[in-house]
Amino acid sequence: MSFWENFWDIFWWFIYVYAFFAFLFALFVIIGDVFRDQELTGWWKAVWIVFLAFLPILSVLVYLIARGKGMAERTMERSRRNQEEADAYIRQVAAASPTEELSKAKALLDAGTISPDEFEKIKSSILV
């Protein structure tokens, strides 16, 4: 009987593959957290990496139990900081100052692209 003929063999194979990829994901998240943590000294980072290399399953479990809450807090803080930086960049790039908008409208008026009435509408909308 071949492997693919037995449903339970296939089922358990998928469970093992899922567990392996979940372990790898947790391992890489923990390694990233170890290197991003500003509170850990270089020696503690080295100790965690050595334990993760030689006792991976036990080290992952210990790290998640001992430092899991701090890991979540650091992730949320990093996420908040990234969002603030992105928002500041978007505001800086997207929003022109009122004087820039007014000078653009004046240039359009001088070029004859817009009428004086349209210029006054733009001016009033900028200054409001």
Same domain, 121 and 81: no
Query: What pLDDT was estimated at residue 86?
Result: 95
d(CA 24, CA 48): 16
Dihedral, CA atoms, 42, 65, 22, 52, nearest 10 degrees? 30
Number of folded domains that form the chain:
2
**DSSP letters for 71-127:** HHHHHHHHHHHHHHHHHHHHHHHHPPPHHHHHHHHHHHHHHTSS-HHHHHHHHHHHH
Same domain, 74 and 104: no
Identify whether the C-beta of residue 60 lies closer than 8 Å to the C-beta of residue 52: yes
Q: Which domain holds residue 48?
A: 3-95
Same domain, 48 and 89: yes
Same domain, 54 and 106: no
Same domain, 57 and 40: yes
Same domain, 33 and 79: yes
Contacts 24+ apart (CB under 8 A), 5-14: none
Same domain, 106 and 84: no
Same domain, 31 and 57: yes
Query: What pLDDT was estimated at residue 1?
Result: 59
Tell me the per-residue pLDDT of 26-67, one tens digit each, with 9 for 90 and over: 999 999 999 999 999 999 999 999 999 999 999 999 999 999
